[in-house]
Amino acid sequence: MYKTVVFDLDGTLLNTLDDLADAGNRLCADRGWPTHTAEEFRYFVGNGIPKLIERLAPPEHRTPAELAEALAWFQADYGAHLRDKTTPYPGIPAMLGRLKAAGVQLAVFSNKADPLAREVVASYFDPALFDLVRGQRPDTPVKPAPEGTRALLAALGADPAATLYVGDSNVDVQTARNAGLDCCGVLWGFRTRQELQQEGARYLAADAAALERVVLAGPAGGASDE
């Protein structure tokens, strides 16, 4: 059994895509920028909100001042609407409860701004489930840089060899690799099986039950469980 599991948030525990896309398109409409489909937002998100804003802004509007203003606008708007359409993926709350009962240490590490990450997790999950919830902080590089992941593991007192990182994108696989962790890619999130396979995820899980089996099998479990 893995002793610690660190979860990505968006696309892994929660389907936040529609709320992110709606807030992004409201920002674009407010500034006269082109809007985008929810499918496009699957590839805009994952590297933190500042990078999302940069991707949404037309090249001529990517000055530091304009991006900072747009970021502040987005964070306020998204913060007011982060519960409109967001929902946990099927089976996730019950799976987390079973893992917690089995003695697994659970944490969330997101590229979403730290206050928003903690707020959205508290909105949808029992706070007793997670030993630590952490988002992106101004003094820490965003994932997949390893500094934030290593700091989180140190705060948890977690052994990297007994820790599984769970996420839905190439950024998550890179995050795990850079921090020396095993990675399970989930197939219900924002990105594709092909992306996760190409990036080198050790495991793939098609649903919450499959992910639970990976966690309980532990580092010796070997193959993907789909």
Element (H, E) at 164: strand 163-167
Contact 124, 88 (CB under 8 A): yes
Q: Is 185 helix (H, G, I), strand (E, B) or coil?
A: strand
Strands (E), 38-140: 87-88, 105-113, 132-136
Q: Which of 8, 10, 19, 172 is catalytic?
A: 8
Residues 6+ apart with CB under 8 A from 149: 6, 109, 143, 165, 175, 176, 178, 179, 181
Please report, as a single letter, which amino acid is at residue 203. Answer: Y
Whether the bond into 144 is cis, omega within 30 of 0: yes
Q: 168 an active-site residue?
A: no
Ordered DSSP codes for 18-45? HHHHHHHHHHHHHHTPPP--HHHHHHH-
Q: Is 108 exposed, middle or buried (0-12, 13-18, 19+ CB in 10 A)?
A: buried
Q: What positions carry a catalytic annotation?
A: 8
